[in-house]
Amino acid sequence: MTDVSESGFKEVTRVADARERLLGAVEPHGRTERVPLQTADGRVLAEPVVSDRNVPHYARAAMDGWAVRAEDTFGAGDRSPAVLRESEGRVGSNEAVRVHTGSEVPEGADAVVMVEQTERFGDEVEVFDAVAGGENVAPAGEDVDEGQALYEAGHRIRPSDLGLLKSVGVREVSVAERPTVGVVPTGEELVEFDPEPGEVIETNGLTVSRYVQRWGGRAEYRNVVTDDESALRAAIERDLTKDVVVTTGGSSVGERDLIPEVVEELGEVLVHGVALKPGHPCALGVVRDTPVVMLPGYPVACIVNAVQFLRPLMKHREGGALPPHPTRQATLSRKIASEPGIRTFARVTLESEDGKTVATPTRASGSGVLSSVALADGWVVVPEGLEGYDEGATVAVEDWEYQP
């Protein structure tokens, strides 16, 4: 726990501990459905997949050439080629059948001589290089054996998996249903368009609902709920049929920050205040077995906390592993400072200079400056044990926008 009294919190919880509490409080939803293979990219398998056939299902030629009995080529060389009769169908003694890459190796043959090592004269084929049994032949089951376990339940399907599954005859798969998420923007100051002084255009709910879709969920983007306990209570209770409820705004400790209090009345607040920057005022709770993620109202803090808590929670409810964000190594053009005990997410832009990638921290770094996220190329995560990174340091830049 870390003292951050200047933000209104006496104590905050480290990111990893907060995430562990949240995920430990709920189970995967357990609902499954069968979907056509071509629509299964990114879905989580609900049951293991075992191949019921060999791939390939026949012995096939791995080269263009002639299918032969290997023993008929023994001793063949440039000066004393083996002479075989051209044939069709089954390969008999001292016979050869023309084959092409991928075609079935005819019965009787156990090897293929590359066409480059042969000459054809009429109905005879001269072989200038001996081959061993099995040479240039892909046996049945070389790729996949019948009965081979391919994937376990919980595996998230990738495009390459689709190809393999189709090759073994799979037409549809059992997958976890996409998690459902109720997205509830809150705040009496929020409007949709044309704000007056003191009003703010609602963007957090829109942004979070689109992230939910990108992360494989189904979002219900609700209308703005004002800062009223009864209205907030009704909004949360309405979406308790969802796998996750996420609110934006009203999660701090001010007079109008009512969401944590409402969740505590309905269920339990697990965490209120997280040791990350930007975005201390995040709260996590559970109401009637439904997790509630209470995101801060400042746009950057909202996005950072959504990535750190909502994304892993959705993957957990779905029953799959959390894919890591792709990273790029870059050299810092300026120092990044960080408060001890706080995990800092410093937004950066990337440029190529003299053959290396340079990361430049955005000048506008406040948690309310949405452009510092929207115009950034990624962020650098400064762990709790460091006070930042010096200029010239090599850092990992996370691409948090990457799907999934």
Q: What is the pTM of this model?
A: 0.85
pLDDT per residue rounded down to tens, the chain (404 residues)? 444 434 568 789 999 999 999 999 999 999 999 999 999 999 999 999 999 999 999 999 999 999 999 999 999 999 999 999 999 999 999 999 999 999 999 999 999 999 999 999 999 999 999 999 999 999 999 999 999 999 999 999 999 999 999 999 999 999 999 999 999 999 998 889 998 998 899 999 999 999 999 999 999 999 999 999 999 999 999 999 999 999 999 998 887 889 999 999 999 999 999 999 998 999 999 999 999 999 999 999 999 999 999 999 999 999 999 999 999 999 999 999 999 999 999 999 999 998 999 999 987 666 667 777 778 999 999 999 999 999 999 999 999 888 76
Total number of domains constituting the chain: 4
Specify if 147 maps to a domain. no
Residues 162 and 193 in one domain: no
Residues 292 and 348 in one domain: no
What integer pLDDT is reported at residue 364 of this predicted model? 65
Instruction: Using the structure block, give the residue that is written with the tokens 């002639």.
Output: 66
The DSSP H or E segment spanning 10 is strand 9-12
Residues 228 and 301 in one domain: yes
Residues 86 and 76 in one domain: yes
Specify if 248 maps to a domain. yes
Residues 273 and 383 in one domain: no
What integer pLDDT is reported at residue 146 of this predicted model? 95
What integer pLDDT is reported at residue 363 of this predicted model? 74
What integer pLDDT is reported at residue 4 of this predicted model? 42
Burial class (CB in 10 A: 0-12, 13-18, 19+), 213: middle
The SS3 call for residue 164 is helix
User: Which CATH number does the domain housing residue 125 bear?
Assistant: 2.170.190.11
User: Which CATH number does the domain housing residue 216 bear?
Assistant: 3.40.980.10
User: Which CATH number does the domain housing residue 42 bear?
Assistant: 3.90.105.10
Q: Which of 89, 108, 138 is the last residue of a domain?
A: 138
Domain range for 9: 2-31+178-318
E-assigned strand segments in 73-179: 82-86, 95-99, 111-114, 118-121, 124-127, 137-138, 149-151, 172-176
Specify if 404 maps to a domain. no
Pairing mode of beta strands 180-185, 218-221: parallel
Specify the DSSP class assigned to residue 116.
G
Specify if 209 maps to a domain. yes
Residues 284 and 371 in one domain: no
Q: Which two tokens stand for residue 247?
A: 């609110």
Specify if 313 maps to a domain. yes
Residues 160 and 258 in one domain: no
Terminal C-alpha separation, the chain: 31
Specify if 375 maps to a domain. yes
Residues 134 and 194 in one domain: no
Residues 183 and 171 in one domain: no
Residues 292 and 163 in one domain: no
CA 310 to mean position of chain CA atoms: 14
Residues 104 and 18 in one domain: no
Q: Distance between CA 48 and CA 36 in Å, rounded? A: 16
Cis before 291? omega within 30: no
Specify if 403 maps to a domain. no
Q: Which of 274, 289, 318 is the last residue of a domain?
A: 318
User: Which CATH number does the domain housing residue 385 bear?
Assistant: 2.40.340.10
Residues 222 and 266 in one domain: yes
